[in-house]
Structure 1
Amino acid sequence: MEHYYLNRKYKDRLFRFIFSDKGNLLQLYNAINDSHYNNPDDLVITTIDDVVYMGMKNDLSFIIDDVMSLYEHQSTYSPNLPLRGLFYFSAMYRNYIEPMKQKLYTDSPLRIPFPVYLVFYNGSMEEPERKEILLSDLFIQNGKGLQPALECTALLLNINVGHNQELMEKCRILKEYAQFIHTIRSKISVGLPFQEAVETAVEDCISQNILSEILRKNKAEVIDMILTEYDENEFREFLKEDSWKKGHEAGVQDGIKTGIKTGIREIIRTFTELQLPKEQLLEKLTNSFSLSVEEAEEYIEKYSKL
């Protein structure tokens, strides 16, 4: 396994830091493609370190088996991902053909690697397991029925804990990365300050053998990366989103219960006003609301006096 190092030119991302190791990157590639490459040197790294466009760096790109893969990690969803991918691929292809650029103007086709763009998402908003995001969705539609000359497709993969479990089981290091981020969020959810939550999560994951080798060797750097890459608001936004979702689901259930009680009350009130037999009321309640006779009589006792 290669030595993990921190690029001191800029604050690195933890995801990129982990998968800059060719062994980890090959494990991830194999898991996604159901392939069985076992030599990390088969990967030709094409990551652009010295090009920054609008503050965004190319996370990881590489070529293997004539496929040029761009892997990007995001904790914030953006519909503009394909546009960023277009810029990245343009730069990578320019680098790729540089040694043979004179052939661009010949009558022989240049054979270039097949492009694949994956976005590994672990942000706070609820996203599906897999989602295609298209560059063409950003084009202004002019109503003339024209076909776009360009397309770029970003495939978003949700890597929050509980998502894409088959992929996680195939790629241990990706699963552990997701568990580590989840552990930090769990610490914050019980009230720990952000930095303390990160530091405690690191210690817990080391003891539980989650990213333990990386965390043990690079503890200070990893903590610094997390504190830089994320901010406390991002984690708290995740918790707020999660709490809203759970509260909404509970509210729906409560609403159903409230609606049932309202229906029962109105039926009892109608039967009472019309002075209809109690036996008919009991039959109506038990059949309409799946109540036992005892439950129906309790409701009658409660609502007939209102």
Structure 2
Amino acid sequence: MNIRKLKKRNAKRQYEHRVNRKYKDSLFRKIFSDRKDLLDLYNALNGTQYTDEEELTVTTLEDVIYISIKNDVSFLLGGTMNLYEHQSSYNPNMPIRGLMYLARLYQNYIDDCEINVFSPVLKHLPSPKFIVFYNGSRDEPDQKLLRLTDAFAEEGAPEESCLECCATMLNINYGHNYELMEKCRRLEEYSVFVAEVRKALEEGGDQRQAVDDAIDICIEKGVLRDILIKERAAIMNMVLSCTEKQYDRLVRKELEQQEKRIKEQEDRMRRQQGQIEEQDSQMRRQQETIRDQERLLELNRILVRERKYDLLEQIQDNPALCEELMVQYGV
């Protein structure tokens, strides 16, 4: 094969599409970034009947500086800090990741609410709830509990550990968790779509055509119909891997976002530093006030002991005299 043909072949290969194995994660985030769908999912999971989307406060971590702790979906609702993670492959380390995500989410919550954790008064926080939505190819039960304590090197009873983080893993492959799917139509549609794409790809042939056919089938069935009609091209590109040029654009965009996030992080650190300095200043003032009160109390005892009641009355309205007597008596 001559060099010209080899270059032509490599150029063609450069722009071939491959299946993006993370498309399910991206699609899940896209669907449940809609507040109404997210509220429906919450109601289905918790047996609640919330209808006001404004009660839901999205807290999803989007900080690209910390790629390792960028989570899928998180939000506050009804006194609960909800963390939803999607997994297209089985991962027993989700409690470890959950610990990292929740620590960051609570830090943000404390900062946003300006909670003084050094206060002698107990401060209340929302209760955590961590759900992992799994739809990988490995056979897993409808529900499985993953514990952080299972990862600890030293074996022992979980209740003996001072730290625990539990993740409830739900299998959302088509045919699993039937009752949950009945309660949340969007989750069921997502499950059906993934099953149709998986089936089409397993039949072989042109992958782009296979995904295109799966989308047609889902539209006909009314599965994610509104999203697939409106954003067909975007979903297609989501399922198929990017070309190098597309990837380059994504990297450039992420770098721009990274610069923005770095600036925001620096601003937040400056605010936190200012708060710490203010707290230190307040503590110093409180300590000085306590010392002054102790000195005044000691001076009062001395004057009472020496029966100098006239001076005792005078110092109440005369700070200068009070200070002079403190120096005189070595208080």
TM-score (norm 1): 0.67
Structure-2 change in CA distance of 1:23 and 1:146 (3 Å): closer
Show structure 1 runs of 5+ residues with no match.
1-10, 230-306
Cα distance in 1 between the residues matched to 2:156 and 2:178: 42
Larger CA deviation: 145-154 vs 172-181: 145-154
Cα distance in 2 between the residues matched to 1:93 and 1:212: 37
Residue 116 of structure 2 aligns to a residue whose secondary structure is helix
The sequence identity of aligned pairs, in percent, is 44
Larger CA deviation: 57-66 vs 144-153: 144-153
Q: Give the match for residue 14 of structure 1.
A: 27
- Measured against aligned partners, the alpha-carbon deviations of 1:62-120 in whole angstroms (never above 9, x if no partner) come to 01100110011110111110000011000100000114556211111110000000011
Q: Give the match for residue 206 of structure 1.
A: 219
- Say which structure is richer in helix: 2
Within the alignment, does 1:226 sit opposite 2:239 as a pair?
yes
Structure-2 change in CA distance of 1:100 and 1:22 (3 Å): closer
Count of aligned residue pairs for this structure pair? 219
Residue 112 of structure 1 aligns to a residue whose secondary structure is coil
CA-based RMSD = 2.2
Higher relative contact order (CA 8 A, sep 6+): 2
Cα distance in 1 between the residues matched to 2:122 and 2:109: 15
Cα distance in 1 between the residues matched to 2:65 and 2:193: 28
Q: Give the match for residue 142 of structure 2.
A: 129
Q: Give the match for residue 112 of structure 1.
A: 125
Quick check: 2:89–2:136 contact (8 Å CA) kept in 1?
yes
Cα distance in 1 between the residues matched to 2:230 and 2:185: 18
Q: Give the match for residue 294 of structure 1.
A: none
Code of the aligned partner of 2:95 = P
Show structure 2 runs of 5+ residues with no match.
1-22, 243-331
Cα distance in 2 between the residues matched to 1:114 and 1:228: 38
Q: Give the match for residue 91 of structure 1.
A: 104
Cα distance in 2 between the residues matched to 1:48 and 1:127: 28
**TM-aligned CA deviation for residue 195 of structure 1:** 2.4
Q: Give the match for residue 197 of structure 1.
A: 210
Q: Give the match for residue 183 of structure 1.
A: 196
Q: Give the match for residue 319 of structure 2.
A: none
Structure-2 change in CA distance of 1:94 and 1:81 (3 Å): same
Q: List aligned pairs for 1:236-247, cutoff 5 A.
A: none
Within the alignment, does 1:31 sit opposite 2:44 as a pair?
yes
Picking from 159, 162, 166, the partner of 1:153 is 166
Residue 204 of structure 2 aligns to a residue whose secondary structure is coil
**TM-aligned CA deviation for residue 193 of structure 1:** 3.2
Picking from 78, 87, 111, the partner of 1:74 is 87
Code of the aligned partner of 1:24 = D
**TM-aligned CA deviation for residue 145 of structure 1:** 9.9
Residue 182 of structure 1 aligns to a residue whose secondary structure is helix
Cα distance in 2 between the residues matched to 1:211 and 1:145: 42
Cα distance in 2 between the residues matched to 1:123 and 1:212: 23
Residue 103 of structure 1 aligns to a residue whose secondary structure is coil
Q: Give the match for residue 325 of structure 2.
A: none
Larger CA deviation: 183-192 vs 81-90: 183-192
Structure-2 change in CA distance of 1:59 and 1:128 (3 Å): same
Cα distance in 1 between the residues matched to 2:54 and 2:156: 49
